[in-house]
């Protein structure tokens, strides 16, 4: 549900989010709904992607099929099914 003061319309194949005034609340709601719509469209278009960055000496990560094996300095390796 979109805030009652925020208007969302399609125009020439694009979504247009508008606010009625320059009040602080309207600006905040405008930014919120613009970001939510952008993230939803991006998620549908590109799918979910997560990046893992290992920083440090002695850390190692390997992929075997859909299993991620992490060597992080514990007494055992950690296996994650992706």
What residue spans define the domains of the chain?
Answer: 7-46, 50-82
Beta-carbon contacts of 58 under 8 Å, excluding residues fewer than 6 positions away, are: 71, 73
Percent of the chain at pLDDT exceeding 70: 100
Stretches where the chain sits below pLDDT 70 are none
Under a CB-based contact definition with an 8 Å cutoff, are residues 45 and 38 in contact? no
The whole-number pLDDT of residue 11 equals 94
Beta partners for 29? none
Tell me how far apart the alpha carbons of residues 63 and 39 are, in angstroms, rounded to a whole number: 28
What residue has token string 């309207």?
Answer: 26
Please give the Cα distance from 32 to 14 (Å, whole number): 18
Contact 61, 30 (CB under 8 A): no
| Residue 63 token pair | 């992929």
């Amino acid at each position: 549900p979109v805030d009652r003061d925020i208007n969302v319309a399609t125009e020439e194949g694009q979504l247009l989010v508008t606010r009625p005034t320059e009040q602080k609340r309207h600006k905040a709601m405008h930014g919120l709904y613009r970001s939510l719509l952008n993230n939803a469209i991006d998620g549908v278009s590109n799918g979910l992607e997560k990046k893992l960055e290992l920083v440090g000496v002695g850390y190692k990560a390997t992929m075997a099929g859909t299993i991620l094996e992490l060597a992080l300095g514990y007494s055992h390796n950690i296996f994650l099914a992706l």
